[in-house]
Structure 1
């Protein structure tokens, strides 16, 4: 089980990179997916950090989790069409 938890850092890293790419999109739908990917990466990083006793990482991920949920909510505001800016 320890090996599986240790391996979580790799999908967490990959999902974080994909999320950053998506959040940079002009498409509101892609940005929303990006924020949800960030939320998933937050959960994976917390699981890995808990196993490795990385308390600062867990604190960081908790703060980023709140920020990413705010991003989801703010991104859903406004008209249903994508905006160019």
Structure 2
């Protein structure tokens, strides 16, 4: 299981990059999907951070998740 968690940082990085690409879209639907993708990356980073006891990373990802949730609501209102 430890090897799987160690490997998790690579999919987390790819999901984060994909989300960043989607956020740059002119279409609101894609931006919302980008924020949802960012939330998935936040969860992946938190899981990895718990395993490695990276408490600052966990705090950062939690705060970023809140901003991503806010981004979803801000996009739906435009």
Normalising by structure 1, what TM-score?
0.90
Q: 1:73 maps to which residue?
A: 73
1:25 CA drift (Å): 0.5
Where do 5+ consecutive residues of structure 2 fail to align?
A: none
Residues 21-59 of structure 1, C-alpha deviations (whole Å, 9 max, x = no match): 000100001101100000000000000000000000000
Where do 5+ consecutive residues of structure 1 fail to align?
A: 79-85
CA distance in 1, matches of 2:63, 2:31: 19
- After superposing on structure 2, the runs of 4+ consecutive aligned residues of structure 1 that deviate more than 6 Å are none
Q: 2:2 maps to which residue?
A: 2
CA distance in 1, matches of 2:27, 2:77: 13
CA distance in 1, matches of 2:18, 2:10: 12
Over the residues paired in the alignment, what is the CA RMSD in angstroms? 0.5
CA distance in 2, matches of 1:38, 1:32: 10
Greater helix proportion: 2
